[in-house]
């Protein structure tokens, strides 16, 4: 469901940008009655399918996520109020509600925007483009970028939002580009439109690829952090496959930019230009297929603990299946908080403290505070350290399910203090 939702959202946003920045400028000087009207109609269909797919796939994604968080069977989610708890008390739920509202507003805009007259309205185009970018960028709050503190709490989400927007601008426009190139070229006017569209997409692709590369480096730094974590965890190995597929796409894009685009745009020989147009269409289809594989990998990565976390916990026995876990990153250190079992009732907490070099922090005192989501009741306990350097709190009473707030206050051996805070999900049972 994550994969379908991501793919549909990226498709809807990509078509919006393709129409606004590529298709309409390319067809502006093409006489009506040519292939322009047919292409517009096909692009409108793709946009509607993408947006409706995003809305429809979002519902089972929410339900299955609530089931996973609560451990309740599907038929008990509504009667026990689990769905409302997830929607109102978790970052995922609040982000889901926001994206649902934005998708509905975007559907209302599509009625006018996707018409021949609406595409010529500058204000409508601006509002639709901005809302589409916001819709796809908000997917960052359903991933691992949220929860950091200090500089990471700003830089990582910002990089993830830009990464998603740039990916949608490039990969979401590949199918529309292949469609346009396939359906144009029968006459001189439509061939001119294909040439202009290819040039504009090439510029968009360069900006998008550069943005994806820079933000991808930032994301990889925070989520992997080291070569051993990349090659030694499931998350890291999947991330490497994603990077390899991305590089394949960049290679095809380079061929398009350096060889095929000049043949299409600069060649006076119509037959040679037509051959380049057909090859560009095929390459765009191949790139779209590779991007679908990347989206599937991204969907899986969102369900796995980041490589940097998994690498540490592999050495300390891993995370039990019934535990809930949160990584909190601050400017002067970070904490991995595990509560076992992660459900209502009595539980134990384990805290690992690290510095930015992934070395154990030398702490003198550690205090754990848990704040209940509804009643706001707080429980504060002093942690004790074991021989391996981990800190423990036993016999914590968790009174209700939902998005609790966990606060870790640390007094280091140097005398300096470290305060870390983040939400953590407690399941119903």
Find out whether 362 and 413 touch, Cβ atoms under 8 Å. yes
Residue 233 has what pLDDT?
76
- Provide the percentage of residues in the chain whose pLDDT is more than 70: 86
For the chain, the domains span: 2-307, 319-426
Q: At 121, is the pLDDT very low, low, confident or very high (cuts 50, 70, 90)?
A: confident
- What's the whole-number mean pLDDT along residues 185-194? 77
Identify the CATH number of the domain defined by range 319-426: 2.60.40.1930
Residue 307 pLDDT exceeds 60: no
Residue 78 pLDDT exceeds 90: no
Residue 102 has what pLDDT?
95
Residue 149 has what pLDDT?
56
Residue reference for tokens 């559907």: 107
Whole-prediction pTM value? 0.76
Residue 310 has what pLDDT?
53
- φ, ψ for residue 321 (rounded to 5)? -65, -30
Which residue from 108, 90, 51, 125 is spatially nearest to 403, judged by alpha carbons? Answer: 90
Residue 324 pLDDT exceeds 60: yes
């Amino acid at each position: 469901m994550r994969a379908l939702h991501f793919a549909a959202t990226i498709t809807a946003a990509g078509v919006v940008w393709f129409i606004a920045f590529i298709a309409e400028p390319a067809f502006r000087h093409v006489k009506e009655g040519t292939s322009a009207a047919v292409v517009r109609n096909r692009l409108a269909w793709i946009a509607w399918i993408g947006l409706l797919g995003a809305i429809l796939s979002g519902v089972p994604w929410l339900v299955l996520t609530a089931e996973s968080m609560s451990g309740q069977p599907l038929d008990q989610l509504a009667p026990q109020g689990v769905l409302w708890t997830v929607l109102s008390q978790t970052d995922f739920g609040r982000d889901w509600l926001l994206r649902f509202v934005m998708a509905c507003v975007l559907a209302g805009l599509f009625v006018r925007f996707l018409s021949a007259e609406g595409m010529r309205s500058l204000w409508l185009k601006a509002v639709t483009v901005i809302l589409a970018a916001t819709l796809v960028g908000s997917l960052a709050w359903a991933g691992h970028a949220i929860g950091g503190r200090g500089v990471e709490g700003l830089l990582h989400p910002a990089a993830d939002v830009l990464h998603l927007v740039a990916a949608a601008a490039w990969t979401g426009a590949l199918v529309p580009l292949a469609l346009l190139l396939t359906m144009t070229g029968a006459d001189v006017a439509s061939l001119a439109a294909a040439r202009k569209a290819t040039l504009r997409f090439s510029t968009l692709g360069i900006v998008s690829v550069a943005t994806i590369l820079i933000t991808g480096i930032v994301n990889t730094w925070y989520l992997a952090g080291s070569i051993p974590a990349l090659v030694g965890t499931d998350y890291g190995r999947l991330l490497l496959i994603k990077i390899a597929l991305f590089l394949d796409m960049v290679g095809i894009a380079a061929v398009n930019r350096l060889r095929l685009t000049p043949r299409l745009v600069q060649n006076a020989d119509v037959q040679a230009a037509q051959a380049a147009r057909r090859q560009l269409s095929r390459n765009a289809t191949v790139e779209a297929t590779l991007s679908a594989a990347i989206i599937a990998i991204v969907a899986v990565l969102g369900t796995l603990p980041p490589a940097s976390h998994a690498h540490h916990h592999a050495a300390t026995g891993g995370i039990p299946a019934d535990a809930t876990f949160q990584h909190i990153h601050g400017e002067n250190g970070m904490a991995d908080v595990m509560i076992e079992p992660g459900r209502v009732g009595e539980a134990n907490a384990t805290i690992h403290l690290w510095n930015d070099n992934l070395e154990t922090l030398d702490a003198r005192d550690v205090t754990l505070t848990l704040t209940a989501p509804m009643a706001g009741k707080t429980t504060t306990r002093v942690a004790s350290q074991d021989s391996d350097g981990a800190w423990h709190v036993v016999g914590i009473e968790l009174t209700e399910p939902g998005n609790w707030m966990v606060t870790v206050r640390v007094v280091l051996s140097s005398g300096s203090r470290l305060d870390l805070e983040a939400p953590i999900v407690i399941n119903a049972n």
